Amino acid sequence: MRSHVHRMQLPREIIVGSGSLDLIGSLCMDMGFTKRALIISGKRTFEVAGRRVKDILQSEGLKVDEHIISSSAPTIDDVESSENKIRLLKPQVVIGVGGGAKIDIAKVSSARQNIPFISIPTTASHDGIASPFASLKGLSKPYSVMAQSPIAVIADTKIIIESPYRFTASGCGDAIAKLTSTRDWKLAHERTNEYYAQYTASIALMSAHHIIENSHLIRPNSEEGLRVLLEALISCGIAMGIAGSSRPCSGSEHLFSHALDLIAPRPALHGEQCGIGTIMMAYLHGLDWNLVRNTLQRIGAPVTAEEIGIEPEYIVEALVKAPTIRPERYTILSEKPLTYERARELARETGVIS
């Protein structure tokens, strides 16, 4: 009888707080990264935080190179150029500094070259900062794929709080999405006997409740509110690491967002779309969708198609198309497939379109 081996990937160190970037040197020393590091960052994010990381590591005696991603919408080509740089320089560690896409490039390219990776987010816009999954344009699939968990995460609130508040509000949308993603996962277990881990689902669900219960703290320039969000997003990343799958954190609301990415001329931020998707999926699940909507509104996250600049027709089409994005993934949309007419009614009923 073959034993079923379940492998979990989790960060070894997570440091959150104002000025925590200054600990990158001692962190690398403790982990035995004493020779060479490669920083993968964007032009702006290198100036915001990457240069400081480089200076600190050089003062510790490391040889530090940087690879700057100049494209605004990073693709698989950026992953390949990063991989080439890793092959050429042979660093002991890759450090991703930036928003979601730059972290994902560092995550995928380091995983492919079997080099550990440290995550240093400059925004808190989605739950990829501590997760083993990455989502990039041009990968074989329009949704996230397995890469590797960061060996460490440094979330410096002093840096993240300076980023546009829209990113923080977007992160809240991605965290609150766990209300419906965990419900979809349980439904899949009941209907198709898919593997389901109640413990992991509880961690993800707790992240959503953490945002709801503390939404009054989340506002521009609130260090306390930002910490609430970072705790939620990091917990989501850990839930995915334990599950070995994005299942606890990505359900019908994410399929809706991925569908929008494919069909809308100018998609919004991932977390913004997931938040709006959660309002509608909560309705289908018979959950308190008004609570989701009111929480997002209180935080200052968008709750309508108009607020994210997407025409109603694309919202309706994305709802219909969503289950085809990952046909193997059973969700409420597999249970209650939507016609165009029913999708329009759902979007109207929940106030997403007028």
pLDDT of residue 216: 98
Fold of 13-160: Rossmann fold (3.40.50)
- What's the whole-number mean pLDDT along residues 223-234? 98
CA–CA separation, 300 and 217 (whole Å): 12
CA proximity to 19, closest of 61, 56, 72, 47 = 56
CA proximity to 260, closest of 319, 184, 330 = 319
SS3 289: helix
Contact 121, 145 (CB under 8 A): no
**pLDDT tens-place string over residues 36-57:** 999 999 999 999 999 999 999 9
Sheet containing strand 152-156, strands side by side: 13-17, 152-156, 117-121, 93-98, 36-42, 63-69
Say yes or no to pLDDT of 65 above 80: yes
The architecture CATH gives domain 165-349? Up-down Bundle (1.20)
For the chain, the structural domain boundaries read 13-160, 165-349
Say yes or no to pLDDT of 1 above 50: no
Residue 289: how many CB atoms within 10 A of its CB? 21
Which secondary-structure segment (H or E) carries 155?
strand 152-156
**pLDDT tens-place string over residues 150-201:** 999 999 999 999 999 999 999 999 999 999 999 999 999 999 999 999 999 9
